Amino acid sequence: MRRLLFLLLAACLPVAASADGGLFSMGSREDGRAWEAVGRLELASKAFCTGALIAPDLVLTAAHCLYDVTTGAPVPVDQIQFLAGWRSGRAAAYRRVRRAVAHPDYVYDASEKTERVRHDLALIELQLPIRNTTITPFGLAPAPSKGADLSVVSYAHDRSEAPSLQGLCQVLAKEAQMLVLSCPVDFGSSGSPVFAFVDGEPRIVSVISAKARALGREVSLGTELAGSLNVLYEELSLDSVRLSLDAGVRRETGAKFITP
């Protein structure tokens, strides 16, 4: 497994994808009806990522999406917007952000690429929950086994106006908190949800972190959810306590970003 990882030339993707099974562009509302909880994350009008609702007010994405690609500084939360079901210039719902929490062990400029991928996970709390009968948050499922079939829904720089469903791809290898997938990706699909189908229903099992090459083929690296997601929930909880304690001392004038 270590040998395989050494062959990976990983590159994080602050702002697309082709797949073993090809891409299906969901250019119409009818095509994308089941996927409206996937949306574009606008980042300070400079870049974008993909994110997905896992609760009416929580978006799951990659931690590196919360950083300015040119400066490495955290993107202010008042400059992040979630566009659920973005398609042809319109979204099914628009939401500003209250807080954004990166995994505390994530280091944006870490020299070891695989170490970045293992903790490349973030939660974004929206200012207002999305309660819409056509936008249903996705459930989660345990990490897939090697060889499992998966799909990815993402935006990308060359298809940024509609989400695309990537045909089935497979888990090529696994190492602690990281999946090597046969799904090739490109700029924009950072933070994209990786789905397994459980009883016919899509469930998120990973988040796209980076693109890579292994043994002459394009692959992608995904971050596992187990453990890391619980850490992020705890970070949100601790931040709520801090905000409450600070309330009698000073006024909060904006959303809070937890710097890892």
Q: Which of 46-60, 174-188, 223-237 has the lowest mean pLDDT?
A: 174-188
Residue the block writes with tokens 């997601």: 229
Choose between 69 and 157: higher pLDDT: 69
- Using CA atoms, how far residue 127 sits from 1, 14, 230, 254, in Å, is 42, 23, 21, 11
What was the pLDDT predicted at 165? Answer: 85
Candidates 158, 187, 222; CA nearest to 49 is 187
Question: Three-class SS of residue 233?
Answer: helix
Q: Which of 33-37, 90-94, 151-155, 244-248 has the lowest mean pLDDT?
A: 244-248
Mean pLDDT of 32-45: 89
In angstroms, the CA 99 to CA 51 distance is 15
What was the pLDDT predicted at 46? Answer: 86
Which H or E run contains 81? strand 80-84
pLDDT reading at 233 higher than 50:
yes
Average pLDDT, the chain: 82
Mean pLDDT of 137-162: 89
Q: Which of 31-40, 68-77, 176-185, 246-255 has the lowest mean pLDDT?
A: 246-255
In angstroms, the CA 206 to CA 203 distance is 9
Q: Which amino acid is it at 79?
A: Q
pLDDT reading at 10 higher than 60:
no
pLDDT reading at 2 higher than 60:
no
Q: How confident is the model at residue 28 (pLDDT cuts 50, 70, 90)?
A: low
pTM of the model: 0.84
Domain 2-235 CATH superfamily: Trypsin-like serine proteases (2.40.10.10)
Which H or E run contains 152? strand 149-154
Mean pLDDT of 232-259: 57
Candidates 98, 153, 160; CA nearest to 130 is 98
Residue 252: other Cβ atoms inside 10 A: 9
The length of the chain in residues reads 260
- Using CA atoms, how far residue 90 sits from 32, 121, 127, in Å, is 13, 27, 20
Q: 134: which residues sit within 8 A by CB, 6+ positions away?
A: 33, 36, 85, 92
Do 118 and 129 contact (CB within 8 A), yes or no?
no
What was the pLDDT predicted at 5? Answer: 43
